[in-house]
Structure 1
Amino acid sequence: MLTLTTTAAEAVKTIVSQVPLTVDGGVRIRDTGPERGFELSVAETPEPDDTVVETDGARVFLDTSAAAALDDRVLDAELSGDGSVRFALATQA
């Protein structure tokens, strides 16, 4: 199952906190296919078939395809001084 680094968990919590009405929400990752990759969005709740990954209070919702594709991955984040976030995936050790 996808895991999150501490930095990624903090980034997810920060992003979600900035969107009204998503206090208990999370970041949803949807697999849009090999040509387009993954789509991230803020969601109030997971979809019925989503896999929910929770780390340090950060919630990530994975659609069925994303859950399969990211099963052995680690989500990390890089925070820049201007407040922007860049996510990266690595293989679990």
Structure 2
Amino acid sequence: MLTLTPDATAAVKALVDSTEEAPSAGLRITQDAPDSPALNVITTSAPEPGDAVLEEGGARVFLEETAAQTLDDKVLDAAVNDNGAVQFSIGVQA
């Protein structure tokens, strides 16, 4: 299953905390098709039916089924640029 770096955990928690009030809120990652290179990321108040739920260090990530398969052996990292924008990156688990 997808894992989060400490930076990604902090970024997900900060994003969700700043936009959602529901205790079940998280970051949802979806993918349009298995062969699509693009992943969609949004904050949401709860997982959708069928989503895999990853909770790490107080951060909640919801993975749509196709995205969960694509990201199964990956690690999510995050960096914040000078303007305060978060940029996520995906690497291979060690």
TM-score where L is the length of structure 2:
0.91
Tell me how far apart the structure 2 counterparts of residues 66 and 83 of structure 1 sit (CA, whole Å).
Answer: 26
Unmatched tracts of structure 1, length 5 or more: none
Structure 2: how far apart are the matches of 1:74 and 1:36?
Answer: 16
Q: Is the 8 A contact 1:22 1:43 kept in 2?
A: no
After superposing on structure 2, the runs of 4+ consecutive aligned residues of structure 1 that deviate more than 6 Å are none
Give the corresponding residue for 1:87: 88
Deviations 1:37-88 (A, max 9, x none): 1100001010110000111000000000000000000000011232110000
Measured in 2, the distance between the counterparts of 1:69 and 1:31 equals 9
Q: What is the SS of the residue equivalent to 1:18?
A: helix
Aligned pairs, number: 93
Sequence identity percentage: 42
Does 31-40 or 65-74 show the bigger shift?
Answer: 31-40
- For 1:53, the equivalent position in structure 2 comes to 54
Gaps of 5+ in 2: none
CA contact (8 A) 2:31 2:67 kept: yes
TM-score by length of 1: 0.92
